[in-house]
Structure formats: C-alpha cells, structure tokens
Amino acid sequence: RAIISNLSFGKKWKENPNRHYDSNEIKTTKYTPLTFLPKNIFEQFHRFANIYFVAIALLNFVPVLNAFQPEVSVIPICVIMAMTAIKDAWEDFRRYKLDKEINNMGCYVYSR
C-alpha cells in the first residue's frame, strides 16, 4: 500500500512540481493603471525643484507679487511634470514586459 501511494505522489509531482509553493513571479513594476497618477504625482513632489517651481507659480497668482501673467508661470512646471510622468510610464511598461518575459521562461527542476 505504501508503494502505491508513493507512485501516485510521483505522478502528481510530475504534473506540477511547484504545487506546494507560492508563486515565485518577479514583479519589479512600481505602478498599476489605477495607481499611476497618484503615485507618480506623490513621487514628483518629493523632488525639491518641483515644489519650488510650483510655489513660484502659485506666488505669481498673488496680484502684488506677480512678475508676469500667472497662467504662463504654470506652463513650464506642467510640461516638465508631464514629460517626467511619460518617462516613468514608459520605464514601468518596459519593466512590465521584461517581468512577463522572465516569468514565462521555462526552468529546470532539480531532483535527486
């Protein structure tokens, strides 16, 4: 009887050798489609330069302090933040594709 159970265990092992383990998928991406915008804005405002330029743009809306049209002062920081967001999205997409490629690779299972 013990031999039969060992044989059936061997058959199941050959079907799926990783059934006793959690997934070992690699995930190096930072964002998901739902979390991209909030996380990216949060990360961008951790850079001192972005905070500085937003503060300058906001000060331009105060009539006594404005040096030029307030709307014009917002354009550069919006362009810089948009370009950085596009760059971050592209890098994250490339990481996603590479993770998918690595996770779908075949592997060898060691057994004595």
- Round to the nearest angstrom and report the end-to-end CA distance of the chain: 24
Residue 108 domain flag: no
Domain, as residue range, for 45: 37-103
Report yes or no: 90 and 30 within 8 Å, Cβ to Cβ: no
In this structure, are residues 79 and 72 in contact, taking their beta carbons and an 8 Å threshold? no
Query: Considering its fold, how many domains does the chain have in total?
Result: 1
Question: Per the domain annotation, does 51 fall within a domain?
Answer: yes
Task: Name 51's Cβ contacts closer than 8 Å, sequence gap at least 6.
Answer: 45
Q: Is the dihedral of CA 22, 23, 24, 27 positive or negative?
A: negative
Per-residue pLDDT of the chain (112 residues; tens, 9 = 90+): 444 444 444 454 556 666 666 677 888 999 999 999 999 999 999 999 999 999 988 988 888 877 778 888 899 899 999 999 999 999 999 999 999 998 888 877 777 7
Specify if 62 maps to a domain: yes
What is the spatial distance between Cα 82 and Cα 43, in angstroms, rounded to a whole number? 13
Task: Quote the pTM value.
Answer: 0.69
Look at residue 111 and tell me if it is in a domain: no
Q: Is 16 within the bounds of a domain?
A: no
- In a domain, residue 1? The reply is no
Report yes or no: 99 and 28 within 8 Å, Cβ to Cβ. Answer: yes
Q: Are 73 and 57 in contact (CB under 8 A)?
A: yes
The answer to whether residue 80 is domain-embedded is yes
Examine residue 12 and state whether it is found in any structural domain, yes or no.
no
